A and B are shown apart, each in its own frame.
Chain A
Amino acid sequence: MQYNSFNTQPTFFQKLKNFDYILLICILLLGLISALSMYSTDGGEILFHSKSHISKFLIFFTMMIFMSFLNIKFWHYFAYLFYVVVLFLLLWASLYGIKASGSQRWINLYFINLQPSELMKIAIIVCLAKYYHRIQLNKVNSFQTMFVALIILILPIILVITQPDLGTSILIALSGLVVIWLAGINIKYFIYSFIVLLISMPFAIAFLQPYQKLRILTFLNPDRDPLGAGYQIIQSKIAVGSGGLSGKGFLKGTQSYLEFLPEKHTDFIFTLFAEEHGFLGSLGLLLIYIIIIYRVLRIGAISRSYFAKLFCYGYGSAIFFYVTVNMSMVLGLLPIVGSPLPIMSYGGSSMLATMIGFAIAMSAKINNKQLIA
C-alpha cells in the first residue's frame, strides 16, 4: 500500500471553490419546481404535502451540503458497512416493518417512516464501486468475482421484491447491473443472462402477484378495464396530452385538481407538471435532469480514483434510470411500477437517498484529485 504524498487535503475554501455549482443550482431548481408542483397538488394551498415536502427538501439539501465536505475516502471506507446496514434494515422492514397498501416496506423511526429499499438504490452502487475498486481487470470476469458481485446484487433484490415492491427492485437491479457492466464484465455474460431471463420469464410471471400481472396486462392494453386497472394510465395520458404545447397553466391542471389523477404527489407528479406546463415545461424539466446526469458523469470523468469514477458513472446512470423509468411509466411506455421521480416526487426516503448520492458525487468533485489505495 502506498500513500500519495502529493495528495494533501484541500483546505475549506478550496473545497468550497471545488463545489459543482451547476449541479447545486440544478438541484435547487428541481427543489423549487417540486415545491411548486406540490403546492399545486394541494390545490393551490400550502397544506400537508407541500409543507412536508419543502421541509424535507431543505433538511436533506442542507445535510447534503455538509456531507459533501466528507472526504471521498470516508465513503470508500464505510461502503461495505453502509451496504450491510441497509441490508439489515431491509430485513428488519420485511420482518417488523409497517404494512401499507398491501406491502411491507417501511420502518417506523418515529420522526420519519424510512423505506430502506430507497437507500439500497444508493448502497448497491457504493458497495459494488468499492468491490470493483480493488479488482484488476483480468480478474473481473473470473467466476469467483462474478459470483460475489451477483450475491451482493441479488440479496437486496430478493428482499425488496418480496415486500413486494417490483419498481424499486428493478431500479436496484438496473443500478447494480450498470456498475457491473462498467467494471468490465464481458458482454457475453449479459447476453447469456438475457437469454436465461427470456426463458425463465413465463415461470417468473407465475410467481408475480396478481396485481403485478394485472399491471402488465393493463400496460399492454389500458382500455381493457378503463375504470379499474387501466384507469391510472388512461387518466395520466389524458392529463399529459391535454397539456398541449404550453400547458393549462400553473394551478389550472383540471385533471389533477379535480382528482382524476392517481398518486399525483408521488409517482405521477410528472403528469401534473406536464399538464400544467405542457410540452415546453416538460422539455425544461427533462433538460434539468439531463444537466444533473451530465454533471454527475463529468465528475466521474475527472475523478482520479476508480471508486469515485465508478460511483459517479453508476449514480449518473441510476438517475437516468429513475427519470426514464418514471417518465416512460406515466407516458404509457412501460407498465406501472412504483418508481418515484427523484426530488420531484413526494417521499422522504427517496429524497434522502438521492441527496446522499449527490453528497457522494459532490465529495468526489471536491476531492477529485484524491487517490484511494
Chain B
Amino acid sequence: MLGENFGVKKVQTINRRMFIIGAAKFVVFTGIIARLFSLQITENKKYLTLSDKNRLREWRLPPIRGEFLDYFGNIIAGNLKVYQLHVIPEEVEDFKYLMVRLKNILSISNNDFKKIIKQKNKQKSWETIIISKNLTWEQFTKVNYYLHDLVGAKPVLSVSRNYPFSENYTHVLGYVSEASEKDILNNKIIKKTHVPGLKVGKTGLEKTFENELIGTNGVQRYEVNAYGKRIRQLDHNDGLNGKTIKLTIDTEIQKLCSELLKDVAGSISVMDIYTGEIVAMQSSPSFDPNLFLFGINQDDWQLIRNNPLKPLVNKTLSGLYSPGSTFKPMVALSALENKIIDENFKVNCKGKIEMYGQTYHCWKKKGHGIVDLKSAMKQSCDTYFYEIARKLGVDRLKETSIKFGLGEKVLNETFSNEKKGLIPDTKWKKNNLGKGWVIGETLITGIGQGYTQTTPLQLCLMTAQLANGGFKIYPKIVAEDDGKTAEEIKFIMHENRKKLNNKDKRLKDAKSLLDLLNKEKHETLFKSSKNINLVRDAMFASTNEIRGTSYKSRIDNPKYQFAGKTGTSQVRRITKLDRELDLKTFEIPYNERDHALYIAFGPYKNPRYSLSIVIEHGGSGSSTAAPIAKKLFKLIIDRHELREKQSKQNDLEI
C-alpha cells in the first residue's frame, strides 16, 4: 500500500485530535449540567415563583357597599338585585345576529347599539361586554324566553345601589356613581378597592363615609395563558360587606317634611334637644338620586341643573340666610345675660326711630306703643330690639350667638358642603371690610339683618339649646355607639346647673366659672337660668298669646303645644317707595320676595324637639313658615313614643 507510513501517522493524528476534542466535550457537557443544576436545583424557588406569577391572575370582584338605615332600621340606601345582560364575544357564534336580535328584544337605541359595537372592537374577545346594566323585569323575562335563540347572551344577577325613598334623602345621603379618575386619585381606599364599574359616594354621607361603606373586594383566582385569557378558576374568596350605618333620622317625619316643602325652595330641620339627634333634615327641591346610578342622561341632568330653585344645593347646611326676627331671642338673651335690661325694661315703639339722621323702621308703621321684653318678642317689635341692640353692642351679642351655635359648623366635617355662616362684630368688619363699625349696623344686626348669615341647621341648634334650658348639645346624624339617652343627658344638665348654682355662691365672676365648666359635656351656656326661661316664655307668648306673630299656627292641646319665633328675612333693602306701596307678597317678583323663617320647640311643658323652617322667597314667616310647624309638630310628638322605644332597642343592638 502506498504511503502506509503516512497513513498510520494520519490515523495517529486524527485519533489524538479526537481525544482532545473528546476532553473538550466533557468540559462543555459538565458546564451544561452545572447550568441545569443551578437553574433547576439552586434557583428552583425563584423560577417557580416567577412561573406562578406568569400563570396566576387575581380578579377582584366589586365589593358590596354598606347600607344606610334610618332610626327605626328601615333601609334608606340599600343594595338592590339588578338583572344585567352580559355577552362574551368569544362564546358567540354569530355576534352580528345576536346583537340584532337583542336590539329588537330589548329595544336598544341606535346610539347605545353603536357604543356596544365600539366597545366590542376595543376589547379582547374573551372580555365581558355589559349589554344592559339594568334590565327591567319584563326585559329580563323576555330575554329568558328567547334564550335558546341567543347563544352567548348571559342574564346575570348583580347588585346595585338603590334609594327606596328616592328624593326624600337625597341631600342627606347624597348618591353614588361610577368612580372618576379624581375619586381614585384622592382616596387610597378607593384606589385599593377599585374595579371597573365601581360606584363610590359623590356627595353627602355616601361620600363622607366612603371608607366605611366601601367594603372589601372578593377575589377570584384564575390560571391564565400568555395572552391573559382565563383558563380555569382556582379559588374564590368573598369580600367583606361595607359597614351598615344607622342614622338618627325618622323616615316618616322626613317624608312629611318633603311633602310640606313641595313646590317651594326651602328647608326643614328637626332636632332632639337633648341628644342632638337630627330627626329630619330636608332641603327642597330635591331630586331622585337613583337617576345617577347608571349614569344620568343629559335631559334629566339639564332639568336638575337648570332648575331655578337649585335642587343641587343642600339648603339646610349650605343655604345662608339672614335670620331676621328669629335672631331676636339671641339678642334678648344676650341683653339679659349682660344685665343691659331686665324683664321689666320698656321701650315706647312709635313705628320708627331716628339715629344720626337715619330712620329705622319697625315693621308695624303705627308702632307697638310701650312694650316690654315679652310683648316685644311676641309681636316682634323691631324698635324694642333696635334699642336693646344699641345698648348691648354687637360684640357682646356675638359672644352669646357663637355660644349657642351660630357662626360655626353644626356637624363639623360630616358634610363637606356645610357652611359656617357669619356672626359679625367690630373686629370682623375692620379685618374684612377695612372699615369701622357703624352704630346703625348694630341696630339692623339686632333684628337679624345686615351682615348676619346663618344656616337653617344652625337656627335649629340654637333653638334646641334654648329649649333644653341653655345647655350645650352635640348634634349628630349618625346613631352612635355611646349615644346617651335623653334622660341621662337631662341628668348631666341638671348636675351642671347645680354646680353652677353652688359655685355661684363662692365665685362672683361667672365668666371664670363658665370657663371651668367648658370642658364638661353639656356645659351651661348661660349665667342665670332665669334669663333662659324669660326668653322661652317670650317665645311661648309669640305663638300662643293673642297678637303673637304665629298665634294662628298655635296648637292648644298641651300635648302638642309649641313655642316659636317667626322671622322674615329681607333679600334686599326696603326702599321708601316699597313702604309707600306696601305690596302683597304675590305682587313682588319671586327673587325679591322675603325669605320666610320659623324656629320652634315643643311640647312647651316638657320640651323635647326643636325645629327650623326656611321658605325661600316665601313672604312672611308668620304666613308661610309657621303653619308648616303646626303640621309637623303633630307628627313629631306622635312619633315620640315610638322613638323612645326604638332608642332603648337601639341601645341593646349597638
Interface positions of A (Cβ within 8 A of B): 2, 136-138, 178, 181-184, 235, 237-245, 254-255, 258-260, 274, 278-279, 282-283, 286, 290, 293, 297, 300-301, 306, 309-310, 313, 317, 320, 324, 327-328, 331-333
Contact = CB atoms under 8 A, between A and B. Distances in A.
Contact of A258 (B25, B32, B47, B226): B226
B28 A324 contact: yes
Contacts of B40: 240-241, 243-245, 274, 278-279, 282
A273 B545 CA distance: 101
B35 to A, nearest CB: 5
A258 B55 CA distance: 7
Contact of B6 (A138, A279, A317, A328): A138
Contact of B22 (A242, A274, A283, A297): A297
Contact of A259 (B18, B31, B33, B227): B227
A260 B39 contact: no
B9 A239 contact: no
B29 interface: yes
Given A183-B14, A241-B40, 20 more contacts: A137-B9, A138-B6, A182-B18, A235-B54, A238-B51, A238-B54, A241-B43, A241-B50, A244-B44, A255-B55, A258-B54, A258-B225, A258-B226, A259-B227, A260-B54, A260-B225, A260-B226, A310-B14, A328-B35, A331-B32
A342 B13 CA distance: 29
B51 A242 contact: yes
A270 to B, nearest CB: 10
Contacts of B10: 136-137, 184, 306
B306 to A, nearest CB: 50
Interface of B: 1-3, 6-7, 9-11, 13-15, 17-18, 21-22, 25, 28-29, 31-33, 35-37, 39-41, 43-44, 46-48, 50-51, 54-55, 223-227, 231
B7 A237 contact: no
B3 A136 contact: yes
A62 B642 CA distance: 97
A300 to B, nearest CB: 7
A186 B331 CA distance: 119
Contacts, number: 127
Contacts of A240: 36, 39-40, 47
Given A241-B43, A254-B223, A282 B35 contact: no
Nearest to A1: B2
A219 to B, nearest CB: 14
Nearest to B8: A137
Nearest to A253: B51
Contacts of B18: 182, 297, 300-301, 313
Given A136-B6, A178-B21, A309-B11, A242 B37 contact: no
A237 B223 contact: no
Given A255-B51, A297-B18, A310-B14, A320 B1 contact: no
A254 B29 contact: no
A2 B1 contact: yes
Contacts of B7: 306
B51 A328 contact: no
B55 A254 contact: yes
A239 B11 contact: no
Contacts of A244: 40-41, 44, 48
What 3 A-B pairs are tightest by C-beta distance, nearest first? A241-B47, A242-B51, A258-B225
A301 B16 CA distance: 11
Nearest to A248: B51
Contacts of B14: 182-184, 306, 309-310, 313
A78 B67 CA distance: 90
B479 to A, nearest CB: 52
B242 to A, nearest CB: 36
A328 to B, nearest CB: 7
A258 B48 contact: no
Contact of A274 (B36, B223, B224, B227): B36
Nearest to A139: B6
8 contacts: A137-B9, A242-B48, A260-B55, A260-B225, A279-B40, A279-B41, A293-B25, A331-B36
A259 B9 contact: no
Nearest to B43: A241
A279 B1 contact: no
Contacts of A254: 51, 54-55, 223
A177 to B, nearest CB: 11
A286 B50 contact: no
Given A240-B47, A254-B55, A317 B21 contact: yes
Nearest to A333: B35
Nearest to B14: A182
A77 B261 CA distance: 112
A258 B46 contact: no
Given A244-B44, A245-B40, A279-B40, A328 B11 contact: no
A266 to B, nearest CB: 17
Contact of A242 (B13, B44, B226): B44
A293 to B, nearest CB: 7
Contacts of B224: 258
Contacts of B33: 283, 286
A184 B32 contact: no
Contact of A241 (B13, B22, B28, B39): B39
